[in-house]
């Protein structure tokens, strides 16, 4: 049975189509990244999936059933939404204990889950004094209470420090690949999840624009090489002679299409042109993502402070 | 459902509001009880006393009924029980644990009954601590199980409890905590107070929750405005139950279908 399944899900808020005919599935044992810019409809989709928002049409199913029909939802689905959903006057432990009571879980689960996310020392502190990162961890602890096999996380990396993000990545991979859970994790920053996810689903302005394995995102895309030299005109001419297409980004930086790093270096060597920097583009994934979602690209030449073209 | 009611009580008792509000309520009622006891039987300049002497049964009935003046405190507890969920967005987690929202509302209302009864018992204990020694010291006979005293005690319990439910319903309707509290206070101190105390308006006032509660504790004392126009006690009880049902419906209807974004 498919762990998470969306079929032609649509939801409007007034005239705004927040989610428009979105369909995808998440299988057990995999991590799926649900990506898109802010306001693309990610949160609305996840809230429909969790029965918090009523979809206009289509189906959102967890383990084959709508969330609101699950008998023991905490034992089937662990959800982490915004890190602000806590009463500031209640301690971390009491927050989890209330959930255990309502869900019919043993109260001991509260302390176990706190230990799992590394919050044992802060268990009796009131949430008002928690950092954003600690709140994210508390949210994750809440998701773990019922030992679910499906996880739905909305921007869980928000507010985590680099060590926390590293820890989260490992934790999500552990849940999916070792415990066989289905994990759906949303983010507006591809680089946050690209080391974690097996599959990506990309949404922009409410519509699904791409889904498939992460590797497919860059397949068939041309690579480009960034090279910096004091003599940009001469190098550009030389590279174009060798069959490359060259974009000038100003400040002596060239984007070279159609040649690999080694060839670009050899051309420079043959023409005796000094280069100070050469690199394969850092993240083609990010570029593919930005192109798919129609966002302006911060690293295109046109955006670089009025450089001559 | 018992688990959900326990969870709702746990929510209230793991934050600080419940005891702050309990202390505030007991201070308020304590001050009223103390004042009435102090001036009981004292003759005014005009030669008549507004409050019967401490050795009379009327004094005991009057003091036992004073707790009903603190309904505003239990109303605020009810309002906060509901609106804190929206103010701190904990409603998201609540509905994730219990996606059938009608059950959450029912659990809150049942927990509200428990809370109202606890506050009511605390009020009655405080009253007993004053009224029993005061009557004994002035040589009167303490009456607990006759002369309408049990009905008055039940009336205080019912009124304080009903206002928790009223608060929950109001909170579900308005959701904004400050707005709901202001609305509730305006209702209790302005609208209900006017309807209950101005004789021409009492034909309407007796049907309000406050008026119905007053019919339960009716001690038929003329405090200068003439005897209040009230429903019979049984009708007052029926009206209170009717309001409880209305508030419950309001609370669930406004909560069950709404998108939580």
* Tens digits of residue pLDDT in A97-129: 999 999 999 999 999 999 999 999 999 999 999
Contact flag B96-A44 (C-beta cutoff 8 Å): no
Compare CB distances from A101 to B7, B84, B259 and report the shortest one's residue: B7
* pLDDT tens figures, A137-191: 999 999 999 999 999 999 988 888 888 888 889 999 999 999 999 999 999 888 7
CA nearest A66 in B: which residue? B99
CA nearest B13 in A: which residue? A90
> Does B151 contact chain A (CB < 8 Å)?
no
Nearest CA-CA distance, residue B186 and chain A, Å = 27
Residues of chain A with CATH 3.30.70: 224-291
CA nearest B256 in A: which residue? A52
- pLDDT confidence band for A284 (50 / 70 / 90): low
Q: Is the pLDDT of residue A301 over 50?
A: no
> Does A74 contact chain B (CB < 8 Å)?
yes
Residues 32-71 of A with CB under 8 A from B: 43-44, 47, 50-54, 67-70
Q: Which of B3, B80, B83, B93 best tests the A interface by mutation, with the highest count of A CBs <10 A?
A: B93
Contact flag B261-A142 (C-beta cutoff 8 Å): no
Q: What is the pLDDT of residue A119?
A: 92
Contact flag A52-B92 (C-beta cutoff 8 Å): yes
Q: If 0-12 CB within 10 Å is exposed, 13-18 middle and 19+ buried, where does residue A161 land?
A: exposed
Nearest CA-CA distance, residue A52 and chain B, Å = 5
In CATH terms, A2-218 corresponds, of 1.10.10.60, 3.10.20.70, 3.40.50.920, 3.40.50.300, to 3.40.50.300
Residues 182-201 of A with CB under 8 A from B: none
pTM: 0.82
Q: What is the pLDDT of residue A302?
A: 40
> Does B14 contact chain A (CB < 8 Å)?
yes
* pLDDT tens figures, A32-78: 999 988 888 999 999 999 999 999 999 999 999 999 999 999 999 99
Residues of chain A with CATH 3.40.50.300: 2-218
Q: If 0-12 CB within 10 Å is exposed, 13-18 middle and 19+ buried, where does residue A131 land?
A: middle
Positions of chain B with pLDDT lower than 70, given as ranges:
43-49, 219-228
Residues 102-141 of A with CB under 8 A from B: 102-104
Compare CB distances from B259 to A53, A86, A91 and report the shortest one's residue: A53
Residue with tokens 């979105």: A22
Compare CB distances from B99 to A73, A88, A142 and report the shortest one's residue: A73
Contact flag B88-A50 (C-beta cutoff 8 Å): no
Nearest CA-CA distance, residue B126 and chain A, Å = 29
In angstroms, rounded to a whole number, what is the distance separating the alpha carbons of residues B186 and B7?
31
Contact flag A54-B6 (C-beta cutoff 8 Å): no
In angstroms, rounded to a whole number, what is the distance separating the alpha carbons of residues A225 and B8?
60
Compare CB distances from B96 to A44, A79, A94 and report the shortest one's residue: A79
Six-digit token string for B126: 């405080």
Compare CB distances from B99 to A43, A51, A142 and report the shortest one's residue: A51
In angstroms, rounded to a whole number, what is the distance separating the alpha carbons of residues B2 and B10?
12
Contact flag B96-A50 (C-beta cutoff 8 Å): yes
- Cβ A172 vs Cβ A78: under 8 Å: no
Contacts of A104 in chain B (CB under 8 A): 3
In angstroms, rounded to a whole number, what is the distance separating the alpha carbons of residues B150 and B62?
13
**Between A231 and B46, the higher pLDDT residue:** A231
Nearest CA-CA distance, residue B236 and chain A, Å = 35
> Does B89 contact chain A (CB < 8 Å)?
yes
CATH topology of domain A224-291: Alpha-Beta Plaits (3.30.70)
Contacts of A102 in chain B (CB under 8 A): 3-4, 7, 94, 97-98
B43-51 long-range contacts, Cβ below 8 Å, gap at least 24?
Answer: B50/B223, B50/B224
Contacts of B17 in chain A (CB under 8 A): 89
* Mean predicted confidence (pLDDT) in A267-279: 89
In angstroms, rounded to a whole number, what is the distance separating the alpha carbons of residues A169 and B175?
37
Q: What is the pLDDT of residue B221?
A: 55
CA nearest B260 in A: which residue? A52
Q: What is the pLDDT of residue B40?
A: 80
- pLDDT confidence band for A309 (50 / 70 / 90): very low
Q: What is the pLDDT of residue A308?
A: 41
CB pairs under 8 A between A and B: 85
Q: State the complex-level ipTM.
A: 0.83
Q: Please write down the HEC assignment for all residues of chain B.
A: CHHHHHHHHHHHHCCCHHHHHHHHHHHHHHHHHHHHHHHCCCCCCCCCCCCCCCCCHHHHHHHHHHHHHHHHHHHHHHHHHHHHHHHCCHHHHHHHHCCCHHHHHHHHHHHHHHHHHHHHHHHHHHHHHHHHHHHHHCCCCCCCCCCCHHHHHHHHHHHHHHHHHHHHHHHHHHCCHHHHHHHHHHHHHHHHHHHHHCHHHHHHHCCCHHHHHHHHCCCCCCCCCCCCCCCCHHHHHHHHHHHHHHHHHHHHHHHHCCCCC
Compare CB distances from A70 to B4, B95, B99 and report the shortest one's residue: B99
Contacts of A101 in chain B (CB under 8 A): 3, 6-7, 10
């Amino acid at each position: 049975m498919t762990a998470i399944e969306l079929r032609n899900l649509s939801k409007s808020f007034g005239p705004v189509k927040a989610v428009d005919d979105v369909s995808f599935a998440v299988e057990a044992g995999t991590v799926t990244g649900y990506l898109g810019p802010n306001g693309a409809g990610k949160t609305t989709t996840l809230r429909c999936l969790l029965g918090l928002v009523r979809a206009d049409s289509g189906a959102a199913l967890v383990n084959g059933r709508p969330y609101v029909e699950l008998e023991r939802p905490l034992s089937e689905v662990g959800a982490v939404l915004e890190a602000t959903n806590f009463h500031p006057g209640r301690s971390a432990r009491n927050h989890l204990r209330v959930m255990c009571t309502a869900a019919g879980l043993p109260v001991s689960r509260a302390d176990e889950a706190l230990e799992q996310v590394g919050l044992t020392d802060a268990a009796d502190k009131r949430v008002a004094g928690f950092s954003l990162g600690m709140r994210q961890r508390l949210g994750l602890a809440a998701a773990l209470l019922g030992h679910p096999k499906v996880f739905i996380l909305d921007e869980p990396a928000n507010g985590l420090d680099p060590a926390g993000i590293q820890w989260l990545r490992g934790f999500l991979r552990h849940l999916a690949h070792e415990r066989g859970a289905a994990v759906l994790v949303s983010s507006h920053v591809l680089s946050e999840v690209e080391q974690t996810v097996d599959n990506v689903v990309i949404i922009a302005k409410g519509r699904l624009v791409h889904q498939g394995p992460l590797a497919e995102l860059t397949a068939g895309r041309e690579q480009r090489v960034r090279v910096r030299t004091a003599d940009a005109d001469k190098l550009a001419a030389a590279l174009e002679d060798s069959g490359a297409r060259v974009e000038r980004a100003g400040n002596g930086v060239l984007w070279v299409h159609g040649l690999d790093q080694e060839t670009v270096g050899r051309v420079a060597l043959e023409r005796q042109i000094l280069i100070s920097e050469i690199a394969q583009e850092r993240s083609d994934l990010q570029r593919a993502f930005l192109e798919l979602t129609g966002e302006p690209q911060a690293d295109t030449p046109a955006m670089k402070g009025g450089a001559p073209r | 459902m018992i688990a959900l009611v326990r969870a709702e009580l746990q929510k209230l008792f793991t934050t600080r509001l419940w005891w702050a509000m309990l202390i505030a309520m007991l201070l308020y009622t304590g001050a009223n009880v103390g004042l009435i006891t102090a001036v009981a039987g004292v003759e005014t300049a005009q030669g008549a006393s507004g409050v019967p002497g401490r050795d009379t049964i009327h004094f005991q009935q009057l003091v036992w009924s004073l707790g009903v003046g603190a309904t505003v405190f239990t109303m605020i507890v009810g309002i906060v029980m509901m609106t804190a969920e929206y103010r701190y967005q904990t409603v998201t987690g609540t509905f994730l644990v219990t996606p059938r929202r009608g059950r959450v509302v029912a659990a809150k209302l049942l927990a509200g009954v428990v809370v109202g009864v606890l506050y009511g018992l605390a009020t009655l204990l405080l009253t007993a601590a004053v009224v029993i020694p005061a009557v004994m010291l002035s040589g009167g006979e303490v009456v607990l199980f006759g002369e309408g005293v049990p009905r008055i005690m039940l009336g205080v319990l019912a009124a304080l409890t009903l206002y928790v439910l009223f608060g929950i319903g109001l909170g579900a309707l308005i959701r904004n905590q400050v707005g709901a509290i202001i609305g509730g206070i305006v209702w209790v101190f302005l609208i209900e107070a006017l309807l209950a105390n101005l004789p021409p308006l009492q034909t309407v006032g007796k049907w309000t929750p406050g008026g119905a509660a007053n019919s339960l504790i009716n001690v038929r004392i003329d405090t200068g405005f003439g005897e209040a126009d009230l429903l019979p006690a049984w009708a007052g009880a029926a009206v209170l139950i009717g309001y409880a049902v209305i508030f419950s419906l309001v609370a669930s209807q406004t909560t069950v279908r709404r998108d939580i974004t």
